[in-house]
Each structure stands twice: as C-alpha cells, then as structure tokens.
Structure 1
Amino acid sequence: MDKFRNYDIAFSGLKDGKHDFRFEVNQAFFNLFETEQEFSNPKIIADVFLDKHSTFLEFEINVKGSIQLVCDITLKDFDYPIENQIKVLVKFGEVYDDSDVDIITIPHKENAFNIAQLLYEDIVLTVPMKKVSPDLSQEDIALLEKFSPQEDEIEEQEDEIDPRWNALKNLKK
C-alpha cells in the first residue's frame, strides 16, 4: 500500500475543465517522508486547482497556514506564517520525468497524479534560513546590535588585502 495515496488526484474520470481539491497538511503528512524538519506543529491547508485538458493537466497549488519555528536568537518557539503558490504543467509521455521544475511528464497509462512531493518541497522551501521571532524584546534587539559587526568594521575588513594576494598578482607579469 502506497503511504502517499491520500495525495493522489485521480483525473481519469474527470471531465475537461476546472476542479478543486483541498488537503490538510499536518505533522502526520511530514512523518510520511521520514525526514527531520526544522519546524513543528504545521497547520497548513493546500488548495489545489486542476484545469484538465485533453492532452495535459494544469495544477495550481496554494498553501497557507503556519508552522512553529525556534528563534535563532532567543531559542523560543514562535508561529511563522506560510503562504505560497506553485504552478505545474503535467503532460503525458513514455516515462516519468520531473527534471523540469515547471513541467512534469507522466506515463500515458497513469490515471492519477500524486502531489505529495510537490506539497512537501513547496512547504519546506518556504522555511527561512534565518529564524528570527517577530516578537523580539528591546533587550534582545539591544544585544543583537551590541554583538553585530558595525559598518565601519566591515569597511575596514574589506579595505585590508591579504599580502598573499598581492604576491599572486606578481605572477601574472
């Protein structure tokens, strides 16, 4: 039994035209992938719009909700809003091919398209590299400013040239 079958969109019995689907994305969804996430407590709704044509399928996937992140500065949990949209064109061919980001080819014999991987990647890629709570206190901000490099320090570092690089310049001559 395929653990991702709940995320199949069966298109073979659908008439040409527009169709709407809705998926709840929670921790159980991410547990299916057996990977560690940088977030917890996902509460996300994925609205999937399918425009079926006779020779191809157009998908628009809108995700909206929140995840819980740990602030890099305070180490406190905070809710981070997730909102993103992707569009994917699914065409039919001999073999499965997802090498193009915007166009996926599936075999002619398929009667459903699974969106689990698309949802997973879409959500995971919206997680910021730097996780800073929007509710930093004035003390936290003061500490950040105290230990952050000042602009004049950065300019000094950029002006200093390592003497080894100067020696390399002489090799060109």
Structure 2
Amino acid sequence: MDKFRNYDIAFSGLKDGKHDFRFEVDQAFFNLFETEQEFSNPKISAHVFMVKHENFLELEIDVAGTIQLVCDITTTDFDYQIENQIKVLVKFGDKYDDSDVDVITIPKQDYAFNVAQLLYEDIVLTVPMKKVSPKLSAEDISLLEKFSPQDELEKEEEIDPRWNALKNLKK
C-alpha cells in the first residue's frame, strides 16, 4: 500500500467533527493499480467529506470530472462527464474487513484510512457499458436505430395471429 500513501486520510490527530479532503485523479492514479481501463485522459476531482466520531468515521466521496471514451459505433474519441457519490462507514475492530459494501472495518490501532480503492471503484463503476458519442451524425443515428433491438410493444405486434387464439383458451 506504500504507493497509495498519497491517498491516506490521517484521522488520529483530528478532532471529532467534519473534515474535508480533496484529491486530483489523473492517469498516474490509475497507473498505480496496474490494470487496463476502458477510458483515457481522466481529469477528475474527488472531494472526501469525513465526519469523525469517537468510534467510527463517516465518509462521503464525491467524484466529478471527465474521461475520454471510444465510441462503440464510430470508434472516435469523445469526452464523457462523470459525477458520482458514495457513502461509507468506517468502524474500528480487530482486523480489516471490507466484506460489507457500506461498512469497512479497520484495526483499532490504525491511524489513517486509505481511500484509493474507494476512489478507483467509484470512478470505474461510472463508466457506461455502452459508449455512444453525443455527436453522432444523422447517418450513424439511422444505422443505430436500424440495428437496435426492437421494443417489446413492437415484438407483440409481430406475433403470428394464430397464437392469439391460444391466449383465449387460458380464460
């Protein structure tokens, strides 16, 4: 975790109450994870609001910025605006446990909490599965409509009329 130390929030010397932390997230941050991303050129600001209590920490993490995606249709790059918020409760216990999505337990003797993994997951989960540029041409849009799955209502209209007689048997 040494390479992530810039994302430590040292809470042991802080008074109980509200505290703010800011992190700038760029490609160097994602390189720390040594994984491949579906985006490039991230320019993201992360704002961590922490409320320190005697026995636990409340974290609210807001991320906002842009990433560059490749359009699934045109294969051109476009900027995609991301904005997300997560809330996590950090409590103190005997050992580290992050099996609960909303509650993370850290050892009582810890003096800092590292938010790098939370930032990473928060940002990566905002990337859409379908990446479509907002600047599609009219030709691209017509192709997209032509090959898009049909709506359920349209499918019902295409049912062979002989099946409708079978529906009457249920009644």
The two structures have a TM-score, normalised by structure 1, of 0.87
User: What is the RMSD of the two structures over their aligned residues, measured on CA atoms?
Assistant: 2.0
Find the counterpart in structure 2 of residue 169 from structure 1: none
Letter in 2 for 1:123: I
Counterpart in the other structure of 2:68:
68
2:141 matched to which residue of 1?
141
State the alpha-carbon separation in 1 of the partners of residues 18 and 96 from structure 2: 24
Distance 1:126 1:42 in 2: 12
Length, aligned pairs only: 160
Counterpart for residue 105 of structure 2: 105
- Counterparts of 2:108 and 2:149 in 1: how far apart (Å)? 58
Task: Report the Cα offset of residue 149 of structure 1.
Answer: 4.6
Cα deviation for residue 143 of structure 1 reads 1.7
Structure 1 residues 38-57: aligned runs within 5 Å? 38-57=38-57
Distance 1:65 1:131 in 2: 17
CA distance, structure 1, for counterparts of residue 63 and residue 108 of structure 2? 28
- For residues 98 and 148 of structure 1, the distance between their equivalents in structure 2, rounded to whole angstroms, comes to 40
In the TM superposition, what is the alpha-carbon distance from 1:146 to its structure 2 partner? 2.8
Which runs of at least 4 in structure 1 moved beyond 4 Å after TM superposition?
149-152
Flag the 1:151–1:100 CA change in 2: closer, same or farther, 3 A. closer
Q: Per the alignment, in what secondary structure is the counterpart of residue 4 of structure 1?
A: helix
| TM-score, length-scaled by structure 2 | 0.88
Residue in structure 2 matched with residue 25 of structure 1 by the alignment: 25
Identity of aligned residues (%): 80
Amino acid at match of 2:136: L
Q: Offset of 1:11 from its aligned partner?
A: 0.1
Q: Partners in 2 of 1:131 and 1:151 — Cα distance? A: 20
Q: Structure 1: state its 5+ residue gaps.
A: 161-173
- Give SS of 2:128's match: coil
SS of structure 1 residue aligned to 2:100 = coil
* Aligned counterparts, 1:92-131, within 5 A: 92-131=92-131
